[in-house]
Amino acid sequence: MAIIADALTFLAEPWFAIPWYVVGVFGAAWVVYDAQHANAALNPPLKVCWPILVFFFSLIGLALYLVTSRPADIGAVEGR
């Protein structure tokens, strides 16, 4: 267990944590905008949950949102 703890010490370093959460803030803001405008069919609980997940998981959360909750043909839908 100590080997894993030593390998993950970079997660607490400012050079990693600050950009991680900055990307998370911008990603969460984009998810809020996208859920309200382009992806309006998203369930209301998920509209609250996804920005929180994207904030904490940053790029990984944003990738998960794009893969799981955003339809691939969302740009082809007219009238929104």
Whether residue 75 lies inside any domain: the answer is no
- pLDDT tens digits, residue range 26-48? 999 999 999 999 888 899 999 99
Whether residue 45 lies inside any domain: the answer is yes
- pLDDT tens digits, residue range 59-72? 999 999 999 998 77
Count of beta carbons in the 10 Å neighbourhood of residue 15: 8
Tokens 């803001």 locate to 29
pTM listed for this prediction = 0.82
Whether residue 76 lies inside any domain: the answer is no
Whether residue 80 lies inside any domain: the answer is no
* AA letter at 28: A
Q: Which residues of 46-61 are buried (b: 16+ CB within 10 A; e: fewer)?
A: bbeebbebbbebbeeb
Whether residue 9 lies inside any domain: the answer is yes
Residue 31 structural domain: 1-69
Number of structural domains in the chain: 1
Whether residue 74 lies inside any domain: the answer is no
